[in-house]
Homo-oligomer: A and B are copies of this chain.
Amino acid sequence: MFSTFGTLFRVTTFGESHGRAVGAVVDGCPPRLPLREEDIQPQLDRRRPGQSAMATERNEADRVTILSGIEDGLTLGTPIALHVANRDTRPQDYAAMQDIPRPSHADFTYRVKYGVQAASGGGRASARETVGRVAAGAVAEKLLRERWGIEIVAWVSAVGEVECSAVDPATVTRTAVDRFAVRCPEEQAARRMEREIGRVRAEQDSLGGVVSCVCRGVPAGLGEPVFGKAEALLGQAMLSLPAVKGFEIGSGFAGARMRGSAHNDRFVWKDGRLGTLTNRSGGVQGGITNGEPILFRVAFKPPATIGRPQQGCDYAGRPILLEAHGRHDPCVVPRAVPIVESMAALVLADLALIQSARG
């Protein structure tokens, strides 16, 4: 259930860490869109772990194969199946975990839900599942760019207590974002974030963070009243990502502290169309895009797996001291950047096609 997302641009993802492959089926992509594996691979490469240190491996891992839906470099309008082989063999590390629910992981809840558990514990709650989303999202992005000129850029706006504040959503680019491994385009903040991550790694701990995202060039009129409001679907999309605890659009929680006279976005005439002077709405009014950039922020909790020992108990309630082995990523928000972009693309592609039908 619920491995499918979207109404007209519809994505189904599959795969756990320890099966043969992960991937996605994209159904509903319009025909005649130029599409090759090279359109998809870059975002998969950005999603991969350990990119800074392991550059040589980059071209071999997580290679996408398009199994169907394409001929002579064009989409056929039929389902596009995307396949990425798993290369992990089942690590011994997990064996010990079978009797102990890791704190703030999905081990316990998957066991209760399914009465069975994948070797890796949380099964589909694993970050590995997002490979399929990123591959599908790249297809959606291609469509949005070619047909509507939409561009989507996400960046790390906070790592733990370190925040960046000077990023201009009107101009920020992926190139600027990728200049630093931490994917914050603001140099000073980026350096402080990297230091903070280094410190936390040394302490065998982990850190949360915030990813901000802007969608530019979105035409007015996208989003469906009531349950399909643009912010509702973006919220669902982002909160469906592992480790996400919060979502806000436009003024977000800060808006709740404001007065209407200060919050309202005044309409003005700009660039030959009706626009707004400020953008506290974050590009949506009444759930429907207004032609201004869509702006939202996604809060990620710190990764649950940490090197330092933790108190816990086994499934029978017997107290136990947990120690994780192996290498763990102390902060996942840099890798979350392309994932957030992908989910935004899936939402917008679907809403754009739905609005087209209204003709």
Contact = CB atoms under 8 A, between A and B. Distances in A.
B25 A25 contact: yes
A289 interface: yes
Closest 9 CB pairs of A and B: A106-B286, A2-B228, A269-B317, A125-B286, A206-B260, A246-B248, A357-B357, A236-B236, A109-B288
B225 A78 contact: yes
A23 B256 contact: no
For this chain, the copies found in one complex come to 4
Most buried by B among A114, A265, A274: A114
Contact of A313 (B125, B247, B267, B302): B267
A264 B310 contact: yes
A258 B301 CA distance: 7
A225 B124 contact: yes
A309 B77 CA distance: 32
Contact of A290 (B67, B108, B306): B108
Contacts of A311: 266
A227 B231 contact: no
Interface string A22-51: 110101101110000000000000000000
B302 A260 contact: yes
A217 interface: no
Contact of A255 (B66, B208, B226, B257): B208
Interface residues of A, number: 151
A76 interface: yes
Contact of A240 (B27, B227, B253): B227
A81 interface: yes
A10 to B, nearest CB: 7
Most buried by B among A118, A228, A259, A355: A259
B245 A253 contact: yes
A47 to B, nearest CB: 16
Interface in A270-316: 274, 276, 280-282, 284-291, 299-306, 308, 310-313, 315
Nearest to A270: B317
A67 B358 contact: no
A353 interface: yes
Contacts of A110: 286, 288
Interface in A1-31: 1-5, 7-8, 10, 12-16, 18-23, 25, 27-28, 30-31
A54 interface: no
B265 A76 contact: no
29 contacts: A1-B7, A1-B224, A2-B225, A3-B227, A7-B7, A7-B8, A8-B357, A15-B81, A19-B66, A19-B67, A76-B118, A101-B267, A104-B264, A104-B265, A104-B281, A109-B290, A112-B291, A113-B223, A245-B255, A245-B256, A246-B255, A252-B299, A255-B301, A256-B301, A261-B310, A264-B304, A268-B317, A274-B317, A357-B357
